[in-house]
Every structure is written in C-alpha cells, then in structure tokens.
C-alpha cells in the first residue's frame, strides 16, 4: 500500500505509524491546523474532514485508513483568491462566533451541498439540522449556521464562488 | 489520555482475515473503528493487533435474493456502513425499523464510518440496530477457523459487550426476512447523537385489516436486547385508521388495538430488567420502555396500513 | 457624515480567518523546542499525600522534568516560604503540598518531548495517599462533624454574603400573600468546544511569556504572580483567539504549572487538556440552593423578600464568591421591594472547584424568582405580564440598594414579546396532568443584568483605548478586553471606523497582550462593549483631532475646515472642486500619506489617539449601597414547549426573545448572542448536569454530558427595542448575559403551563419531569380519596 494521502488535491507522504489519528497527522505533520480537536471521541465533530467526499470525524480514523484516499479539510475549501460559497455565507451571516467548530462544520456543509447539487434540489432547514447534528456548537445556537447553509445552497449550490473583497 | 498500543494490519480476503485473527489472542477485527478506537483511547482495551476488515470483499454489499416462499431475503454485509444502509432502496422499502435506527445512530460523520457488523459485535445493550434486527428475525452469518455457521440474532447477544462469537470468528453478514412493516423508536435526552435510554422495535403484518403477526424487541433495558413475545396479544385484532388521530395516540387504529396495547405495554414493562446508571434510573427506564413498545407497534401498524393502501390503490 | 457601519449587520472582522481555518487557537501554536506538559491528578477525593516518588517517571526517555509541590518557588512574605493565594480566597496551591481535596487535584506535572512520553511518565509517578473522609454535598458539608477541607476555615465556609435593607417587619405586616419556596440549580459545565490549552516560556530574571486564553489578562497575571512569588509585570500574557469560555477561562492553575515546567526545563511548554480532563477538572457552574420568602399585597406588589442561599465552592475558591453575591441581590435591580434580606454561604466540598459562568448567579436566582412570580400571579389572578410590569423598575428609578436605572424598555420588551408569541392564547395550566399525548405550554420570564460591575476591581472601572496610524497607513485599535468569540473586536472596529470615516475592515484590532495593550478589567460582567466601545470612541476622537491638526499644518488649512472620510482628509471649504494639490480647498491627503508624513515628522513615531471611559458608577461601600453599573439591560422571553406526558420529555418548539440593550452596534452579532444564550439556556434547562458520584465526575464526555445539538434548539425570534442609554457614550448597554438569564424560568413556566407541574430543581430532564408528573398524580389521587372519605 502506497503510504500517501491526497489532501486537498495534493499528495502527502504519510509514512507515520499507521494508527496515528488522521486528525493528528493533519495538524502535526501536514501543518493543517484548521482541523480542530475537541474531544478525540467522535462526539463533537470539530475534527470533521471529508474522506473521499464524505464527512468523518478524523480523530477516529487512523492514518492507514486514509492511505490512497482523498481528504478535504477546511483549508481545501475555496482557494487563495476566493472563498467557497459556503464560507462566504458563514462569513456574511456571522454563523461563526468563537469559530472553533466552524472548520468541521464547513466541510460537512460542503458535502451536504454537493449531495444536494447531485440530486438537483436544495436541502431543507430540517434536513440541514439532521445532517449536521454530529457537530456541536456552544456559541451560536445553530440558527445562523442553518441559515448560512441554506443561503449557500440558494446561491447557486456548487458553481458560484465569490471573489474575496 | 490513555496510551493504547495498536498494531495495524489490513485483511484483503475473508480467509486472510481469519488467519490474522487466529494468529494472536489480542487480535480485534476493525470495521469502522467508532467503538474500537475509542475503547482503546479510553483504556477499555489496552490495544493489540487491529485487523482491518473494512475492505474484505465477502463482508460488503447489500443483496436481495428470493426465498422459497416467494418472498425476498436481504443480505447485509457486516462491513456495510450505516450510511450505505440508509441509502439502499431495498432497505428503505423493506426494513423501515432499520432505517429509523440507522438515522438515529450517531451523526452523519459516525454513520459514514460505523458498520452494521461493528454495531452488532460491539454488543452494547443500547445498540441501535439490535432491536430492528431482532424483529426482522435476522440471522448472523459467521465465519471462523472451523468453517461457517448461522445463528439467529436472538441468540447472538449474550450480555453487555458479549456475543456468541467464538474467538477468531468473524461476522460476515446478516440476513433478514422482508415483508410486513416495522418501526423503531428510542427514548433519548438529546434529539441526535445520543445513546438510547430505552428503545423498542416492532414488526407487524396486517391482513384484511387484522393483525396477522407481530414481534417486539426492546433495547437498553437488559444486559442484551430482548425479544418480547406479543404475537398472541395482538393476533387477529382489527386495525383501521381512526380519522383525525395522531399515530402515537393509542386509539389511532381503533379501540380494540388500544386495549391490547395496554397489555403489550405491561408485557414490555415486565420483561425489562434495566439498570440505574448515569443516564437514567431503572424504574424510569422500565416505565418508558412500555410507552416505547406501544408507540413502536402503532407506527408499525400505521406503516403496514399505508403499505396495503398503496397496494390497493395500485392494483385498483 | 458618510454612511456608518454602526447599526448595520456587519461580518466579524476576523471571520475570514475563521472560515478558512486560519485562526490560530492556543493548541494550534508550536514554539521552537516546545515540550508537552501533563498534570498528574489525584484519584482520591480527599487524602494526605504520604509519599511521592518521581524517580521512575524521570527515567522515561524524553521526559525533561517532573515537578511536585517541593519544586514550587517561595511566594511568602519577603520571598520566603509557600503561602496559599487565590483570586478571592487564599486557598490555591498550584500543586498540592500535603493534601488532595478532590478527584482531579493537581499533584505533580511532567514535561516531555512528546505527549506519549509525558503520558507514560504520569503513569510511573508513585503517590501514596492516606484517604480522609470526604464530603460531596454542600448541605452535608455544613453539618457539625463533617469532614473539614481547610482546617483554617472551620465549618467549610469559603465565603459569605449578607445584605439587608428596609423594614422587613413593616413590609410583611401588609402582606396578603406569602410564598415560601425552595429552588435549586445544578452544576453544569461550560462545555466550550476548545479544551483548555496554554503555552508558557520562561526567560531569565524570573520573566515569563504566557499564551493563554483568559477574559481577564491583567487580573489573571496578578493571581499567577502571587502564586509564583514574582511581580505581575514579569509575566507577559498574550491572549490568543479563544474557542469559547463562557466564564471558565479566567484564571487557571495550569498556567502556573506550565510556567514552572518551562522554568525547570528551559524550554517552552505546551499543555492541552483532553476532554475528559477538561470536563472533570476544568471548572463548573456552582450548584445553588435557594430558600425564598416573598410577601405580596393584594395587587401583587412585592413587599418583602428574604433569601437564603447555599452554594458549592468545591475544593477551592475560584470566582464563585461574587456569583453568590449576585444571586443574593441582583434581582433587586429588576424589581422593587420595600424590604429585602439575603444571606448566602459558599461551602467547600471535595468536588471540582466551581467558578463563574455566563449569567453569574443572576440566571440562577431568576430561575427561582421568575417561577415564584408566576406562582403569585396565578394565586392572585393577575396576568403574568401585568404582575411583572407592576413591580419592575423603570427608567429614572433608584433601586433599594441605590442602583440608578438610566434607561429601561422592559415594558416594551414585555408587550412586544407577548405580541410576537401570541401570549394571550395561553390557557390556564391544567389541574390534572394530561394522561397521554403531548401537552403544549407557554412560559414568560424577564431578566436583566449589569453592564460592567464596579466592585470587580474597586480601584477603577472603565477602559482605555488607543487608535494608531502607522507609517504604512495601517490603522489599528488596542483595547484591554479580549474578544471571546462574541465579536467584540468587530464592534470596536465599527465604532472606530465610524469616527474615522473608514470601513471596519480597514481597522486591525490588536490581540490583547499585556506587553502593549491598555490595562483593563477584562471581558466580564457584560462590560466589554460598553466600556471598550466608549474608550475607543474617545480614542478615535482624540486621534482625529491630532490627525486633522497635522493635516491642517501640511495643507495650510484650519483644521475646522478639514473632514476625515473614506480614508482621507479633505479640505472642505468651498467644497465641490476636486484636486490633489496641497494648499487649497479640495485638496486631500490619504491616511497612508498622513501616516508616512507623521512618522517622518516624528522620527518614526506612529500617530496615536488615546481615550478612556470612566463610567459614572458609585462603588458600593461596606453597607453595599451604591450604583455599581452605568447601565442595566433588560429582556423578556417566551418559550413554547411540548411535553411528552408519558416520558417527561420536553421539547422547546418556539422561542421569542425581546431585548433592551440600548443602542445595538451590530444587529447581526447581537442576534447571535441572544440565539447562543438561549441555546445554552435550553441545554441547562433540559439536559445538562455534571453527575458526581463519590466525588468522581461520571459524565466527562459529550455523549453523557449533553449540550444541545442542531435538533434541540428551535428557530428563535429575536428583536431589540429601546433607545440609546443616556449614561453610555455609545448608547449601548449590554447583552451577553441578559441573553441567557430569562431562559430557564421561561421554560420552567412553560412546562408548568403545559402540565400543571412546577419543577423546583434544574434541570428539567425527562426523568425529572416524569417524576414530578407522577408525584402530582399521586397527590391528586390522595386528595381525591380524602375527599371521598369525608
Ligand atoms: C459519537 C458517537 C455516537 C454514537 N452513537 C451511537 C448510537 O446512537 N447508537 C449506537 O448503537 N451506537 C452508537 N455509537 C457507537 C458505534 O458508532 C456503533 O456501535 C457502530 O455501529 C460500530 O461500528 P464500527 O464499524 O465503527 O465498529 P468497530 O469499532 O470497528 O468495532 C466494534 C467492535 O466490533 C468488533 N467487530 C467489528 N466488526 C466485526 C465483525 N465483522 N466480526 C466480528 N467482530 C467485529 C470489533 O472488533 C470491535 O470489538 C456511537 C459512536 C460514537 C463515536
């Protein structure tokens, strides 16, 4: 097995002990500290990343399980010049307060919007609440997060990427 | 932080997995890891060799095959993730209780990792999928060094964290009967990402607006999930949607069922042997599980009627 | 005046970093050569340390230091000996010298090159404990013969608070109705998403750099300096972005432990709690027990109120003394009473130390009192809205303790929330709990708070700020109040931006760093926006004056003819013409150019405007009479619940919150504050409870300590009413805590309205509600039988 993980489109050698938590690998070896650690037991969702496009709590995924696969972290949303529409919506609506839960939420929201785009209709508020229920947030009361995801969905789902000011 | 020490090996075939599992006494199958990794981290297991079975071909997929009686049996590979289970159309149509339960299991991120086999083999008394599997009379397909065997899930769970699997054995799949309608409800404090304080799954078949068969299973109220025999209590009871009533209302399907449901509730109450822990006290669990039993049955009846209505409209 | 930002929804100025994952919280930082520190915590709730042997731990490869109480530097008088210290009561030790007092007490600490090595070393430290009898319940701790935690504090009393005013006897004599009730609130966990994390570096000459989350950097370093026996000025405290705190991250023992490990090893040390450690040995909201006697006249006017409070300090005293004082008398600034008396005891137990949390005792008292107001209203046949209006303070009032209410739109809050929620559709509570199904109910509660609280730092209240223009044209603002995630930096930038005619996004708000920020009390007591905002406004004005004077010199204009807008100074007289030339109307200079030229003219110095705000408060004296806050915010909330009468499960299905917080600077973040506060209140009301058995926290994780998730919080309607606060230079009052304060009683009142059962003890878990319903049924049955028998 090739000990490489494709992180945000770039191949990363991941020749570390195979049972290293993916979250630790991302933060300590790949320098991607956007992925946060809130509990290490899969309960808070702060460490969520996309593994082959699906949200997983990266604290529970050993590096060996990611070898040869695609990982998307918050740093992989948007690019240097632009923000992903879901980032724009979070920003504009102040869906982030302290911000600690936000990176994980953003990648899950991205996956949710991709799924909705694939099936062709936007998510409902109830659906957003169910899908994102694996993320805890202590600051916002969730309402603005739900609104932001719905707004991003409305803003043309996947295609639209707003220019940064 | 507890220091767990794991070695990791990936199995490519069922035979390979069995060999690896037999090779060491501290070998553990690793499926989604949502229980095993945490058990290590919290010091419940000191580590050992984790045999990754998630890519073993024999453990994959959901397949349907016809039965002699003209019905459909579903085979669900042990490594099927809860997300895959929820997305499967046949499961959606035929095993509604399993869908109810899967949707409640963890959040999306956990559902993308957690497997059906892991949930079964972890054997938590509150495991979500156990009551639905019980009422659908699932059979465990087990492979081991001595060959393979089958076992009804009513004999699969033997206590908290304990199953009938012998050391070195692997759960390959579960097979279930389809037909009838089912539902699962759990009592929780948080509406998502919570562990059941008590739960109930019910299965019914309705023929000519009468209950033909019924099964009930309870979770989190005994060392292992419980099957409660309710068939006799409700067999033959006429059911018909009472207008303007919510499906949770005991009278939703007529007074005859409402009356029998009280007995079902009492049976559930009597069967439960709950414990008191940090999540709830025993007497509360016991009181609630009766309510859940009744509600699960009502929902199953509702679904059964909706299905037969569907069939009628389609044929008519 | 150009279109300002104040009053319009504005994205947080640091939101771009937050949504990109670029915000660096303490755990995200790595210092060169950094070691990982971990704490060995007591496994017994109470005991004498007979022996500690660290020799095996020291042999673990990679371990650089193991410290115990024997390694603590002297902090006693004249630099000799060890003495206890602490923010309110001197009962802190850094590392336990001879006794442990709770499961989690700090016994030793390790620094190693990896977390694994540190963890391994912890397991190899040998400690022999001689167990002592322990006490976990505060009422038991008060009983004679109870185990004593601190022999120098007999009876386990950590602190007490008493207050009395008015003629109780005279007031009570007029009573038509007297309610005597017992209520209690429970121990909850702040449950911020970012576990506690700190980094420390030691420098020669007893100096330290500490990167640690805190609301109160200037105060925290005083405590730390006392613990270490050094001058506070030797500690440079840098406050990183905080992943939530809600009052927990004020002053933390781990900071001193990290500093000592850094000193011992000569290397930077990083310490990050894991969740179980954070939830068990981080700090909790204290449980409070209330006995309240309220006397009312026939019209529902409050006459007298007598209160006895017992609260849990845990094993040492953190910020709970002022919490208890608040619980004892802040309600007297919401309602008028003719006479009041309160006495409160803060009690040691062998449990994790408690500290302050959003709502600060006021939320606790409101849980009790707002339910009693509903009880009284029902008994007297008065509408819940009306009885509150009859008793509430109004603008211009002076309360029984001398607090001056500068503005209040509480009546408007009440009317508006009643309208929004359709409160008039509320039916009377059923006498019998319904037998099955789901019962709906509506509940109302009001609340208030302070906007800064003078006694927190008796020397002064208020704030200072600097606005600065650098030679590259960069505008920055410095205040001493850390942004704790609520968006303070954005609000401060908006206020400055409007004064300076730029966009808030063009202003950097500097991280709070004791090396170069203005000193301040910090972000607590709902004070940050009013205090820092006013100081920034003053600083911006001072800055502008200096800038225009300088530009006037350059342009040869009278500063009075110059305006500052859109990032430039423009010579206005005559107007209309545009031109870049210097020395005539229409000429202008950009901020960048002004920054450069100022620096050139002042040998590199930036242009700095300074400002401060000293609110007109009166420090309450020994008689506790005074006016501790410049302004008082108010709120009225209505909750609509659905109670599953067979399981006791309560769902909040609708929620309306109307607030008077004075002028709203940023409606978007203000709304977010309320939504977040309500969500926390829902969690506390319905599910949160730190379960302690035998001194051990049994639910130190998010599966068993449940905070509300996406599906537990309904869509909320939030509105603001009221006008500018006259005592506040920016017109604002406060919001952070008043957002939470009414939530618990609103929900409890709604549950009562739905099922006719009043719950006196938070939280209203399904099991608690179910039991209360069972009890009520039994009572009714017994009463029925009695009637039959007669
Ligand atoms: C945040 C969170 C929320 C959760 N919520 C729920 C919930 O609501 N309801 C619920 O029921 N559970 C819940 N769980 C528990 C867990 O996710 C489930 O039990 C899950 O189904 C386990 O599957 P897995 O594939 O991850 O198992 P693993 O962790 O891989 O394995 C679990 C155990 O089964 C053994 N095993 C796995 N596969 C096999 C096999 N094929 N044959 C033999 N032995 C095997 C392993 O050796 C291990 O002992 C939650 C977990 C987390 C972290």
Domain boundary among B145, B177, B209: B177
Domain boundary among B152, B177, B202: B177
- Whether residues B139 and B199 fall in one domain: no
Does residue C6 belong to any structural domain of this protein?
no
CA separation for the pair C358, C346 (Å, rounded): 19
- The minimal CB distance from A134 to the residues B32, B54, B109 is found for B109
- Whether residues B61 and B163 fall in one domain: yes
Name the residue with the closest Cα to ligand 1, atom 40: B171
- Whether residues B170 and B231 fall in one domain: no
- Whether residues B112 and B85 fall in one domain: yes
In chain A, the residue whose alpha carbon lies closest to the alpha carbon of C675 is: A141
Does residue B144 belong to any structural domain of this protein?
yes
Domain boundary among C580, C613, C646: C613
Whether residue C701 and residue A32 make contact (CB cut-off 8 A), yes or no, is no
Does residue C184 belong to any structural domain of this protein?
no
For C237-287, the pLDDT digits (tens) are 999 999 999 999 999 999 999 999 999 999 999 999 999 999 999 899 999
Whether residue B192 and residue A130 make contact (CB cut-off 8 A), yes or no, is yes
- Whether residues B204 and B218 fall in one domain: yes
CB contacts under 8 A, B 212-251 vs C, are 246, 248-250
Does residue B217 belong to any structural domain of this protein?
yes
CA separation for the pair A86, A92 (Å, rounded): 10
Q: Quick check: B26 and B49 in contact, CB under 8 A?
A: yes
For C413-424, the pLDDT digits (tens) are 999 999 999 999
ipTM confidence: 0.96
- Whether residues C466 and C443 fall in one domain: no
Comparing C-alpha atoms, which of C319, C313, C322 is closest to residue C353? C313
Which of these ranges, B22-26, C45-49, C51-55, C336-340, has the smallest mean pLDDT?
A: B22-26
Q: Say if B287 is an interface residue toward chain C (CB within 8 Å).
A: yes
Residues of A in contact with B189 (CB under 8 A): none
Q: Which atom of ligand 1 is nearest to the CA of B127?
A: 11
Does residue B245 belong to any structural domain of this protein?
yes
Whether residue A57 and residue B109 make contact (CB cut-off 8 A), yes or no, is yes
Whether residue C119 and residue B1 make contact (CB cut-off 8 A), yes or no, is yes
CB atoms within 10 A of CB B174: 24
For A93-103, the pLDDT digits (tens) are 999 999 999 99
How far apart are the CA of C711 and the centre of ligand 1, in A? 23
- Whether residues C231 and C115 fall in one domain: yes
- Give the position of tokens 């295609």: A159
Question: What is the nearest CA distance from C437 to chain B, expressed in angstroms?
Answer: 7
User: What b/e readout covers C295-320, taking b as 16+ CB neighbours within 10 angstroms?
Assistant: bbeeebbbbbbbbbbbbbbbbbbbbb
| Alpha-carbon distances of C341 from A46, C174, C309, C627, C708, rounded to whole Å | 47, 17, 11, 18, 36
Number of domains in chain C: 3
Helix, coil or strand: residue C514: coil
- Whether residues C223 and C346 fall in one domain: no
Q: Note the helical H segments in B45-107.
A: 82-87, 89-94, 96-104
Comparing C-alpha atoms, which of B224, B217, B180, B176 is closest to residue B199? B217
- Residue B205 CB–ligand 1 contact under 6 Å: no
For A118-140, the pLDDT digits (tens) are 998 999 999 999 999 999 999 99
- Whether residues C93 and C202 fall in one domain: yes
- Residue B39 CB–ligand 1 contact under 6 Å: no
pLDDT over 70 percentage in chain B: 96
In chain B, the residue whose alpha carbon lies closest to the alpha carbon of C682 is: B190
Q: For residue B158, what are the domain limits?
A: 57-177
For B146-176, the pLDDT digits (tens) are 999 999 999 999 999 999 999 999 999 999 9
Does residue C268 belong to any structural domain of this protein?
yes
Q: Which chains would you list as touching B if contact means 3+ CB atom pairs under 8 Å?
A: A, C
- Whether residues B301 and B207 fall in one domain: yes
CA separation for the pair C52, C45 (Å, rounded): 17
- Whether residues B147 and B210 fall in one domain: no
Domain boundary among C578, C613, C648: C613
Q: Say if C710 is an interface residue toward chain B (CB within 8 Å).
A: yes
Cα-based torsion angle of the residue sequence C154, C158, C164, C168 in order, rounded to the nearest 10 degrees: -60
Q: For residue C510, what are the domain limits?
A: 15-20+462-613
Domain boundary among B143, B177, B211: B177
How far apart are the CA of B122 and the centre of ligand 1, in A? 6
Rg (CA), chain A: 15
- Whether residues C538 and C679 fall in one domain: no
Which residues, at least 6 apart from C750, have a Cβ–Cβ distance to it below 8 Å?
C441, C442, C443, C638, C639, C640, C641, C652
Comparing C-alpha atoms, which of A53, A21, A56, A17 is closest to residue A40? A21
What is the number of H-type helices and E-type strands within chain A?
5, 7
Q: Which 8-state DSSP code applies to residue A26?
A: I
Annotated catalytic residues of C are: 737
For C181-238, the pLDDT digits (tens) are 999 999 999 999 999 999 999 999 999 999 999 999 999 999 999 999 999 999 999 9
Burial status of residue C280 (CB atoms within 10 A of its CB: 0-12, 13-18, 19 or more): buried
pLDDT at A163 over 50: no
Q: What is the pLDDT of residue C573?
A: 67
In chain B, the residue whose alpha carbon lies closest to the alpha carbon of C647 is: B288
- Whether residues B287 and B247 fall in one domain: yes
CA separation for the pair B3, A152 (Å, rounded): 42
Cα C254-C257-C261 angle, rounded to 5 deg: 140
Does residue B303 belong to any structural domain of this protein?
yes
State the CATH number of the domain containing residue C674.
Answer: 3.30.365.10
Residue ranges of E strands in B58-161:
62-66, 72-77, 139-144, 147-152, 157-159
Crossing angle for the helix pair C362-380 and C320-329, to the nearest 10 degrees: 20
For C475, phi then psi, to 5°, come to -100, 135
- Residue B237 CB–ligand 1 contact under 6 Å: no
State the CATH number of the domain containing residue B61.
Answer: 3.30.465.10
- The minimal CB distance from B8 to the residues A42, A57, A62 is found for A62
CA separation for the pair C323, C179 (Å, rounded): 25
pLDDT at C732 over 60: yes
Q: Tokens standing for C733?
A: 């009052």
Q: Sorting pLDDT into bands at 50, 70 and 90, what band is C14?
A: very high
Does residue C175 belong to any structural domain of this protein?
no
Cα-based torsion angle of the residue sequence C250, C254, C258, C264 in order, rounded to the nearest 10 degrees: 130
Q: Which atom of ligand 1 is nearest to the CA of B165?
A: 43
Does residue C139 belong to any structural domain of this protein?
no
Name the residue with the closest Cα to ligand 1, atom 41: B171
- Strand order from edge to edge, sheet including B5-10: B5-10, B47-52, B27-30
Rg (CA), chain C: 28
* Ligand 1 mutation pick, B4, B18, B33, B35, max ligand atoms within 8 A of CB: B35
Does residue B1 belong to any structural domain of this protein?
no
- Residue B110 CB–ligand 1 contact under 6 Å: yes
pLDDT at A158 over 60: no
Q: What is the mean pLDDT of residues B2-15?
A: 88
Q: Sorting pLDDT into bands at 50, 70 and 90, what band is B186?
A: very high
Question: What is the nearest CA distance from A151 to chain B, expressed in angstroms?
Answer: 21
- Whether residues C411 and C473 fall in one domain: no
- Whether residues C505 and C523 fall in one domain: yes
- Whether residues B141 and B225 fall in one domain: no
In chain B, the residue whose alpha carbon lies closest to the alpha carbon of C764 is: B189
Whether residue B287 and residue C770 make contact (CB cut-off 8 A), yes or no, is yes
- Whether residues C441 and C586 fall in one domain: no
- Whether residues C272 and C292 fall in one domain: no
Name the residue with the closest Cα to ligand 1, atom 28: B33
Q: What is the mean pLDDT of residues C611-622?
A: 94
For C442-460, the pLDDT digits (tens) are 999 999 999 999 998 888 8
Helix, coil or strand: residue C293: strand
- Whether residues C315 and C358 fall in one domain: yes
Does residue B184 belong to any structural domain of this protein?
no
Q: What is the mean pLDDT of residues A138-155?
A: 96
Does residue C170 belong to any structural domain of this protein?
no
Q: What is the pLDDT of residue B244?
A: 81
Does residue C481 belong to any structural domain of this protein?
yes
- Residue B118 CB–ligand 1 contact under 6 Å: yes
In chain B, the residue whose alpha carbon lies closest to the alpha carbon of A55 is: B109
Does residue B183 belong to any structural domain of this protein?
no
Between chain A and chain B, how many beta carbons pairs sit less than 8 Å apart? 71
- Whether residues B108 and B219 fall in one domain: no
Q: Tokens standing for C669?
A: 């973040």
Does residue C156 belong to any structural domain of this protein?
no
Domain boundary among C592, C613, C634: C613
Half-sphere exposure of A7 (CA within 13 A, CB side): 25
- Give the position of tokens 């576990």: C195
- Whether residues B172 and B64 fall in one domain: yes
Number of domains in chain B: 3
State the CATH number of the domain containing residue B38.
Answer: 3.30.43.10
Does residue B182 belong to any structural domain of this protein?
no
Burial status of residue C425 (CB atoms within 10 A of its CB: 0-12, 13-18, 19 or more): exposed
- Whether residues C634 and C669 fall in one domain: yes
Q: Which 8-state DSSP code applies to residue C662?
A: B
| Alpha-carbon distances of C381 from C36, C366, C376, C387, C446, rounded to whole Å | 64, 21, 8, 10, 19
Q: What is the pLDDT of residue C583?
A: 65
- Residue B120 CB–ligand 1 contact under 6 Å: no
For C476-485, the pLDDT digits (tens) are 999 999 999 9
CA separation for the pair C724, C661 (Å, rounded): 8
How far apart are the CA of A42 and the centre of ligand 1, in A? 12
Q: Say if B1 is an interface residue toward chain C (CB within 8 Å).
A: yes
- Whether residues B157 and B69 fall in one domain: yes
- Whether residues C650 and C690 fall in one domain: yes
Q: Sorting pLDDT into bands at 50, 70 and 90, what band is B242?
A: confident
Q: Quick check: C485 and C242 in contact, CB under 8 A?
A: yes
Crossing angle for the helix pair C528-555 and C591-601, to the nearest 10 degrees: 80
Residues in chain A: 165
Residues of A in contact with C19 (CB under 8 A): 74, 83, 87, 90-91, 96, 99, 102, 106
Strands C207-211 and C235-238: parallel
Question: What is the nearest CA distance from B304 to chain C, expressed in angstroms?
Answer: 22
Comparing C-alpha atoms, which of C396, C376, C360 is closest to residue C305? C376
């Amino acid at each position: 097995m090739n000990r490489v993980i494709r992180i945000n489109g770039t191949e990363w050698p991941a020749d570390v002990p195979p049972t290293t938590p993916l979250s630790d690998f991302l933060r300590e070896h790949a320098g991607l500290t956007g992925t946060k650690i809130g509990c290490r037991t899969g309960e808070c969702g702060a460490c969520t990343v996309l593994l082959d496009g699906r949200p997983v709590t990266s604290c529970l995924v050993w590096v060996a399980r990611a070898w040869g696969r695609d990982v998307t972290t918050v740093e992989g949303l948007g690019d240097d010049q632009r923000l992903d529409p879901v980032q724009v919506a979070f920003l504009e609506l102040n869906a982030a307060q302290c911000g600690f839960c936000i990176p994980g939420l953003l990648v899950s929201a991205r996956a949710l919007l991709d799924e909705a785009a694939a099936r062709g209709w936007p998510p409902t508020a109830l659906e957003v609440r169910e899908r994102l229920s694996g993320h805890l947030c202590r600051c916002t009361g969730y309402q603005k997060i739900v609104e932001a995801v719905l707004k991003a969905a409305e803003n043309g789902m996947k295609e639209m990427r707003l220019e940064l000011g | 932080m507890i220091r767990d020490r794991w070695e990791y090996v990936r199995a490519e075939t069922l035979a390979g997995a069995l060999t690896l599992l037999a090779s060491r006494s501290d070998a553990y199958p690793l499926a989604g890891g949502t229980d095993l990794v945490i058990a290590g981290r919290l010091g419940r297991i000191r580590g050992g060799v984790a045999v990754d079975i998630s890519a073993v071909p024999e453990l994959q997929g959901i397949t349907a095959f016809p039965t002699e009686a003209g019905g459909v049996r579903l085979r669900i590979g042990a490594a099927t993730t809860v997300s895959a289970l929820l997305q499967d159309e046949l499961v959606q149509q035929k095993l509604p209780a399993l869908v109810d339960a899967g949707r409640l299991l963890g959040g999306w991120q956990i559902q993308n990792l957690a497997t059906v086999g892991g949930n079964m083999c972890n054997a938590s008394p509150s495991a979500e999928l156990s009551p639905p599997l019980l009422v659908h009379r699932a059979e465990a397909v087990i492979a081991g060094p001595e060959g393979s065997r089958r076992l009804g899930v009513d004999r699969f769970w033997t206590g908290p964290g304990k199953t009938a699997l012998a050391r070195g054995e692997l759960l390959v799949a579960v097979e279930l009967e389809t037909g009838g309608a089912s539902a699962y409800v759990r009592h929780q404090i948080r509406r998502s990402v919570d562990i059941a304080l008590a739960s109930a799954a019910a299965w019914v078949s309705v023929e000519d607006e009468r209950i033909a068969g019924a099964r009930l299973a309870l979770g989190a109220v005994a060392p292992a999930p419980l099957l409660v025999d309710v068939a006799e209590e409700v067999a033959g009871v006429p059911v018909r949607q009472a207008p303007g009533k919510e499906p949770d209302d005991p009278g939703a399907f007529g007074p005859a069922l409402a009356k029998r449901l009280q007995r079902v509730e009492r049976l559930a109450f009597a069967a439960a042997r709950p414990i008191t822990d940090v999540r709830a006290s025993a007497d509360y669990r016991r009181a609630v599980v009766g309510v859940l039993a009744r509600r699960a049955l009502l929902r199953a009846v509702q679904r059964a009627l909706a299905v037969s209505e569907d069939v009628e409209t389609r044929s008519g | 005046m150009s279109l300002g930002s104040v009053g319009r929804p504005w994205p947080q100025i640091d939101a771009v970093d937050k949504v990109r994952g670029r915000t660096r919280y303490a755990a995200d930082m790595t210092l060169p050569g950094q070691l990982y520190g971990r704490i060995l915590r007591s496994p017994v709730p109470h005991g004498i340390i007979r022996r500690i042997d660290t020799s095996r731990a020291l042999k673990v490869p990679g371990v650089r230091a193991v410290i115990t109480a024997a390694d603590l530097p002297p902090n006693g008088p004249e630099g000799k000996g060890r003495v206890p210290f602490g923010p309110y009561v001197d009962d802190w030790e850094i590392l336990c010298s001879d006794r442990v007092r709770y499961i989690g007490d700090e016994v030793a600490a390790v620094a190693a090159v990896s977390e694994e090595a540190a963890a391994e070393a912890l397991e190899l430290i040998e400690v022999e404990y001689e167990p002592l009898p322990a006490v976990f319940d505060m009422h038991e701790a008060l009983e004679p013969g109870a185990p004593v935690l601190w022999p120098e504090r007999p009876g386990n009393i950590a602190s007490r608070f008493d207050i009395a005013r008015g003629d109780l006897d005279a007031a009570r004599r007029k009573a038509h109705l007297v309610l005597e009730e017992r209520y209690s609130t429970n121990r909850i966990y702040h449950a911020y998403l970012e576990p506690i994390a700190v980094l420390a570096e030691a420098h020669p000459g007893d100096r330290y750099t500490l990167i640690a989350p805190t609301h109160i950097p200037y105060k925290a370093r005083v405590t730390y300096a006392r613990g270490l026996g050094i001058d506070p000025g030797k500690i440079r405290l840098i406050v990183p972005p905080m992943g939530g705190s809600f009052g927990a991250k004020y002053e933390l023992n781990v900071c001193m432990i990290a500093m000592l490990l850094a000193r011992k090893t000569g290397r930077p040390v990083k310490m990050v709690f894991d969740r179980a450690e954070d939830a068990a040995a981080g700090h909790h909201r204290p449980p409070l027990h209330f006995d309240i006697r309220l006397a009312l006249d026939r019209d529902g006017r409050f006459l007298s109120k007598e209160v006895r409070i017992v609260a849990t300090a845990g094993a040492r005293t953190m910020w709970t003394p002022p919490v208890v004082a608040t619980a004892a008398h802040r309600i007297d600034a919401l309602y008028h009473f003719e006479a009041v008396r309160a006495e409160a005891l803060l009690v040691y137990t062998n449990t994790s130390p408690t500290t302050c949390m959003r709502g600060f005792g006021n939320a606790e008292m409101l849980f009790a009192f707002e339910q009693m107001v509903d009880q009284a209203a029902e008994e007297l046949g008065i509408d819940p809205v009306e009885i509150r209006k009859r008793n509430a303070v109004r603008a211009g009032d002076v309360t029984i303790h001398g607090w001056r209410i500068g503005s209040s739109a509480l009546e408007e809050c009440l009317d508006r929330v009643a309208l929004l929620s359709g409160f008039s559709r509320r039916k009377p509570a059923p006498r019998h709990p319904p037998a099955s199904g789901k019962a709906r109910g509506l509940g109302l509660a009001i609340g208030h708070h302070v906007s800064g609280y003078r006694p927190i730092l008796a020397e002064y209240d208020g704030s200072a700020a600097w606005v600065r223009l650098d030679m590259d044209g960069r505008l920055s603002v410095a205040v001493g109040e850390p942004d704790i995630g609520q968006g303070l930096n954005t609000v401060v930038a908006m206020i400055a931006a409007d004064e300076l005619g730029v966009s808030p996004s063009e202003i950097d708000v500097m991280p709070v760093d004791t090396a170069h920020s203005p000193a301040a009390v910090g972000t607590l007591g709902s004070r940050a926006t009013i205090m820092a905002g006013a100081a920034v406004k003053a600083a911006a004005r001072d800055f502008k004056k200096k800038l225009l004077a300088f530009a006037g010199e350059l342009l040869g204009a009278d500063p009075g003819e110059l305006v500052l807008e859109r990032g430039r100074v423009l010579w206005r007289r005559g107007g209309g013409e545009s031109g870049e030339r210097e020395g005539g109307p229409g000429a202008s200079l950009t901020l960048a150019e002004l920054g450069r030229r100022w620096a050139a003219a002042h040998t590199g110095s930036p242009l700095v405007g300074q400002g401060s705000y000293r609110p007109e408060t009166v420090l309450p004296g020994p008689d506790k009479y005074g006016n501790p806050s410049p302004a008082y915010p108010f709120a009225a909330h209505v909750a609509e619940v659905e109670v599953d009468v067979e399981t006791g499960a309560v769902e909040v299905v609708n929620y309306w919150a109307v607030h008077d917080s004075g002028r709203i600077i940023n409606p978007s973040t203000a709304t977010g504050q309320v939504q977040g506060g309500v969500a926390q209140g829902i969690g506390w009301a319905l599910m949160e409870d730190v379960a302690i058995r035998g001194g051990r926290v049994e639910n130190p994780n998010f599966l068993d300590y449940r905070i509300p998730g996406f599906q537990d919080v309904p869509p909320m309607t939030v509105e603001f009413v009221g006008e500018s606060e006259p005592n506040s230079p920016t017109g604002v009052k406060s919001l952070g805590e008043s957002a939470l304060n009414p939530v618990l009683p609103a929900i409890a009142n709604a549950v009562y309205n739905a099922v006719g059962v009043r719950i006196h003890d938070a939280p209203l878990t399904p099991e608690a509600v179910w039991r209360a319903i069972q009890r009520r049924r039994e009572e009714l049955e017994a009463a029925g039988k009695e009637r039959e028998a007669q």
